[in-house]
C-alpha cells in the first residue's frame, strides 16, 4: 500500500450533505433559544415560534413565495407524500389520475399509486421526460395532479419544467415540482404550483423537508386533524432554523461553488469515459445539475465496486440493485435503458477538493479492473 | 439457438454468463438467457446495445425472464 487511507473523500452528498458550519452554529444556538414547543403561549414558546416563522420566512424569500405558503415537514419524503395526498383529496371531484415522470423519486411514484391512478410519462436515454407526451397526458380528463422534478438527483438531468408547467396551467392541473436535488445548487425558477425540497441535500440537517404551496391550489388532508394541519406534530425548531441558514449560505455561494463543481463533474465525465473500458456515463451532457455525475461499468458488481472504493477512502453512491436491500435496481437507470449494474453515483458536496477528485480518477480504473479480474470477465 | 441458464443468479452474473456464451458462438447466433434477477431485464438490452447485438425478444413466466439476443454478424 502506497497510499494512506485515513483521508476520506465524501463524494456522495445527494440528500444528505455534510452539515454547513453556519448551519451547525445556528442549530446549537437554537437548542438554547428555541427548545420550547412553538404551540405554547408563554414567552419561551413564543420565542420558539418566532424562530420557526423566521425560518419559514427565509426559505420563502429564497424560493420566491410568501411565508404562509411554506410548510415544514419532518422529511422530504413526508413533504412529497403530503403534497400528493392532500392535492389528490382536494381535487377528487376532478378525477383520480396523477401524471408523473418515470424518473420521479420513489416517494412520488408510491404516493401516486396510493392515492389514485398513476399515469407515467417515459424518458429518453438521457433521463429527460418527453414534454409533448407529458402535455398530452395532462390534457386527458380526470387529472387531479401532476408531478415533475426540477432535475434528477441520480443522474443530474434537468427536466423541461417550464414547458410542462405551461401545459399544466393550460389544463388547469396543479404541478408539483420536486426540487429536492436542485435547491441550493441550481436556479429552480418560478414555474411550479407546489414545490418540495430537502434540507439535508443543501447542507442543512437531515430530517427536515419543505413544501411550498401557492395560494389557490386546492388541498385537503386525508389524515387526522392536528394543529399543524399539513404535517401533524410539526418539526424541530433548531432543525428548521439550521435549514434556513444553510439555504441562505448555499444560495449566496452558489455561483462560485457551482462553477468549480461543474468543472470537476466535466473532468470526471470525460476521464471516466476515456480511461475506464466498457463504461457508460449517463445523464444529459449539458442540461444537468452542477454536482451530480453517474456511470455504469459493464460486468462489475456494484457492491464490490462500492466496497473497494470505500476501503480506499471514497464514499460514493450507487443505483445498482446489489448495493441495496431492494431486489430491483434503480428505476431511474431502468427507465433510461441504462446499464443498472456496476453503477456509481457521485454528488459532489460544496467545496469538494480537486485533489480528491484527481485521486478518485487515478485509482478508479485499477479498482474496476481488479473487480473484473476477480469475476474473470477479461476479454468479454 | 443456445439457452443460458442464469436462474437464481444476481446481477451482473446473468449478463456475464450470456456474454461468455456469445463470445463462443458464431456471428448471427440467437441466445436466450433465463434469469430470475429483475435487473437482467434492463441489463441484457443495455449490454446488447453496448456490444452491437440485436435484442430479439423478452418474455416472463412464473418469475423467470427469457431474454433473447442475436449476435452481430
What are the tens digits of pLDDT across the range A106-160? Answer: 999 999 999 999 999 999 999 999 999 999 999 999 999 999 999 999 999 999 9
Which of A252, A279, A303 terminates a domain? The answer is A252
Cis previous bond, B12, omega within 30: yes
How many structural domains comprise chain A?
A: 2
| Same structural domain, A260 and A243 | no
Per-residue DSSP letter, A67: G
The parent domain of residue A144 ranges over 21-252
Q: Is A290 helix (H, G, I), strand (E, B) or coil?
A: coil
Residues A101 and A242 in one domain: yes
Interchain proximity B12–A300, CB inside 8 Å:
yes
Residue A379, in any domain of the structure: no
**Domain presence at residue A187:** yes
Domain annotation covers residue A130: yes
Whether residue A331 is found in the same domain as residue A351:
yes
Residues A210 and A230 in one domain: yes
In sequence order, what are the residues at sequence separation of 6 or more whose Cβ sits closer than 8 angstroms to the Cβ of residue A377?
A299, B16, B19
Q: What's the rounded Cα separation, in Å, for the pair A240 and A248? A: 13
The residue from B11, B19, B58, B66 that is catalytic is: B11
Cell 413544501 sits at which residue?
A: A211
Residue A2 lies in a domain: no
Q: Which residue in B16, B19, B42 is closest to A334 by CB distance?
A: B42
d(CA A100, CA A81): 14
Last residue in a domain, options A206, A222, A252 = A252
Any bridge partners for residue A279, and if so which?
A297
Residues A290, A199 within the same domain: no
Place of cell 377528487: A92
Mutate to test the interface with B, among A298, A304, A319, A344 (most CBs of B within 10 A): A298
pTM score, two decimals? 0.96
Helix H or strand E encompassing A50: helix A43-63
DSSP-assigned letter for residue B12: T
Do A32 and A14 lie in one domain? The reply is no
> Do A275 and A237 have their domain in common?
no
CB < 8 Å to B43, chain A: 329, 339-341
Cross-strand partners of A288 = A157
With residue B67 as reference, give the H or E element that holds it.
strand B64-70
**Domain membership flag for residue A174:** yes
> What CATH number did the domain enclosing A182 receive?
3.40.640.10
Residue A278 counted as domain residue:
yes
* Residue whose C-alpha cell reads 449478463 in the numeric block: B15
Is there a single domain that holds both residue A134 and residue A266?
Answer: no
Same domain, A198 and A328: no
Would you say residue A302 lies in a domain? yes
Specify whether A231 is located in the same domain as A316: no
Last-in-domain residue among A252, A281, A300: A252
Same domain, residue pair A237 and A365: no
**A26 and A168 within one domain:** yes
Per-10-residue mean pLDDT, chain A, length 380: 69 96 98 96 98 98 98 98 98 98 98 97 98 98 98 98 98 98 97 98 97 97 96 97 98 90 97 97 97 97 94 94 75 96 96 96 97 90
Say if A380 falls within a structural domain: no
> Each residue of A202-238: pLDDT tens digit?
999 999 999 999 999 999 999 999 999 999 999 999 9
Please give, one letter per residue, the 3-state secondary structure of B14-27. Answer: HHHHHHHHHHHCCC
Q: In this complex, which of B20, B41, B43 lies closest to A341 when CB atoms are compared?
A: B43
- ipTM comes to 0.95
Is residue A11 within 8 A of residue A347, CB to CB? The reply is yes
What DSSP character marks residue A287? Answer: S
Partner residue opposite A340 with nearest CB, options B11, B23, B50: B11
Q: What is the mean pLDDT of each run of 10 residues along chain B (73 residues)?
A: 95 95 95 96 96 96 97 88
Q: Which of A69, A115, A111, A71 shows the shortest CA–CA distance to A89?
A: A115
The values of phi and psi at residue A343, to 5°, are -90, 135
Pairwise CA distance, residues A360 & A293, whole Å: 13
Q: What is the CATH number of the domain that holds A351?
A: 3.90.1150.10
pLDDT number for residue A6: 60
Whether A341 and B12 lie within 8 Å, measured CB to CB = yes
Residue A310 CB neighbour total at 10 angstroms: 13
Amino acid at each position: 500500500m502506497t497510499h494512506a487511507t485515513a483521508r476520506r473523500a465524501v463524494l456522495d452528498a445527494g440528500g444528505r450533505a455534510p452539515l454547513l458550519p453556519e448551519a451547525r452554529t445556528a442549530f446549537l444556538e437554537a437548542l438554547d433559544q428555541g427548545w420550547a414547543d412553538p404551540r405554547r403561549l408563554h414567552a419561551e414558546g413564543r420565542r420558539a415560534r418566532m424562530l420557526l416563522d423566521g425560518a419559514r420566512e427565509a426559505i420563502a424569500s429564497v424560493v420566491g413565495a410568501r411565508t404562509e405558503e411554506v410548510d415544514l415537514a419532518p422529511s422530504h419524503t413526508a413533504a412529497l407524500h403530503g403534497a400528493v395526498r392532500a392535492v389528490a383529496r382536494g381535487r377528487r371531484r376532478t378525477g383520480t389520475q396523477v401524471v408523473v415522470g418515470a424518473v420521479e423519486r420513489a416517494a412520488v411514484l408510491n404516493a401516486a399509486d396510493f392515492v389514485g391512478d398513476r399515469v407515467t410519462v417515459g424518458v429518453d436515454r438521457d433521463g429527460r421526460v418527453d414534454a409533448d407526451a407529458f402535455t398530452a397526458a395532462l390534457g386527458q380528463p380526470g387529472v387531479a395532479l401532476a408531478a415533475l422534478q426540477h432535475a434528477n438527483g441520480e443522474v443530474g438531468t434537468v427536466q423541461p419544467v417550464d414547458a410542462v408547467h405551461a401545459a399544466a396551467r393550460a389544463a388547469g392541473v396543479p404541478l408539483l415540482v420536486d426540487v429536492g436535488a436542485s435547491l441550493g445548487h441550481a436556479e429552480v425558477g418560478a414555474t411550479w404550483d407546489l414545490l418540495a425540497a430537502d434540507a439535508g441535500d443543501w447542507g442543512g440537517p437531515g430530517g427536515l423537508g419543505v413544501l411550498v404551496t401557492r395560494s389557490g391550489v386546492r388541498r385537503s388532508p386525508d389524515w387526522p386533524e392536528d394543529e399543524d394541519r399539513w404535517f401533524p406534530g410539526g418539526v424541530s425548531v433548531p432543525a428548521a432554523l439550521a435549514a434556513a441558514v444553510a439555504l441562505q449560505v448555499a444560495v449566496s455561494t452558489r455561483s462560485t461553488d457551482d462553477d468549480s463543481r461543474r468543472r470537476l463533474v466535466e473532468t470526471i465525465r470525460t476521464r471516466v469515459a476515456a480511461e475506464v473500458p466498457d463504461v457508460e456515463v449517463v445523464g444529459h451532457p449539458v442540461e444537468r445539475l452542477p454536482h451530480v455525475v453517474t456511470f455504469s461499468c459493464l460486468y462489475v458488481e456494484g457492491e464490490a465496486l462500492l466496497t473497494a472504493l470505500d476501503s480506499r477512502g471514497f464514499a460514493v453512491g450507487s443505483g445498482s440493485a446489489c448495493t441495496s436491500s431492494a431486489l430491483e435496481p434503480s428505476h431511474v437507470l431502468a427507465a433510461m435503458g441504462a446499464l443498472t449494474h456496476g453503477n456509481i453515483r457521485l454528488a459532489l458536496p460544496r467545496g469538494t477538493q480537486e485533489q480528491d477528485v484527481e485521486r478518485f480518477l487515478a485509482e478508479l480504473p485499477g479498482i474496476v479492473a481488479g473487480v473484473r479480474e476477480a469475476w474473470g470477465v477479461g476479454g468479454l | 439457438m443456445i439457452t443460458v441458464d442464469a436462474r437464481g443468479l444476481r446481477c451482473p452474473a446473468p449478463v456475464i454468463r450470456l456474454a461468455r456464451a456469445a463470445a463462443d458462438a458464431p456471428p448471427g447466433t440467437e441466445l436466450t438467457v433465463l434469469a430470475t434477477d429483475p435487473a437482467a431485464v434492463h441489463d441484457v438490452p443495455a449490454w446488447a446495445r453496448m456490444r452491437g447485438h440485436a435484442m430479439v425478444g423478452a418474455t416472463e413466466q412464473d418469475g423467470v425472464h427469457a431474454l433473447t439476443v442475436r449476435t452481430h454478424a
